[in-house]
Homo-oligomer: A and B are copies of this chain.
């Protein structure tokens, strides 16, 4: 599993001439880093702010951030697996008509699976950004830049997921699958983008307006 590798090893493997792990796994890792920073802000704030309402609210946000972090980290591996499935499908024999039909079907299934992973990443990014809105509003002022970096990581992960989902969709012939996913991608992308901009604007306002 990629998450068991050292940070250096993961970077080396990314930089190698093997296409996986690539942009999809890196996007999922960025999201995981964003969720981790969200958890950090919750924990630090809870340790410093005795207000019971904030304690209870952040405890619940923390639990959700940690669940999301776990899912994001799983997607680091899932994306690499889904990508390899596409490569494997392309390598299937196509000498007979039957083989060729089987190969085409396998390629289509693999591309669908390789679309579902970044679309799931996008959905989870939308969940994460909703949590980070609370984190950035209730978080201790000393951790606001961390909340900001969390938002930036989720934002970058979202855009990476959009690129990966769209490139896989471009290879899929099932038009209803394409249409449903395209609508979902556009909607999730604009949710995450709009929220990110709003939250970062507020963070900058809280930090730098005197």
Q: Is the CB of A207 within 8 A of B148?
A: no
Chain B residues with CB below 8 A from A120, complex form: none
Q: Shortest Cβ distance from A73 into chain B, in angstroms?
A: 7
Question: Is residue A16 contacting chain B, with contact meaning CB distance below 8 A?
Answer: yes
Q: Is the CB of A23 within 8 A of B167?
A: no
1/0 per position for A24-36, CB-CB distance to B under 8 A?
1011011011011
Contact flag A15-B148 (CB < 8 Å), given A153-B30, A170-B208: no
Question: Is residue A149 contacting chain B, with contact meaning CB distance below 8 A?
Answer: yes
Q: Is the CB of A4 within 8 A of B4?
A: no
Q: Shortest Cβ distance from A182 into chain B, in angstroms?
A: 11
Instruction: Give CA–CA (A204, B163) in the complex, Å.
Output: 8
Q: Shortest Cβ distance from A2 into chain B, in angstroms?
A: 7
Chain B residues with CB below 8 A from A29, complex form: 7, 33
Q: Is the CB of B146 within 8 A of A152?
A: no
Chain B, Cβ-Cβ closest to A27: B149
Question: Is residue A115 contacting chain B, with contact meaning CB distance below 8 A?
Answer: no
Q: Is the CB of A11 within 8 A of B26?
A: no
1/0 per position for A124-160, CB-CB distance to B under 8 A?
0000000000000000001111101110110110011
* A interface with B by C-beta (< 8 Å): 2-8, 10-12, 14-19, 22-24, 26-27, 29-30, 32-33, 35-37, 39-40, 43-44, 47, 65-66, 69, 73, 76, 142-146, 148-150, 152-153, 155-156, 159-160, 163-164, 166-167, 170, 200, 203-204, 207-208
Other A-B pairs beyond A4-B8, A22-B146, 7, CB < 8 Å = A3-B6, A3-B11, A17-B40, A17-B43, A19-B143, A22-B143, A30-B156
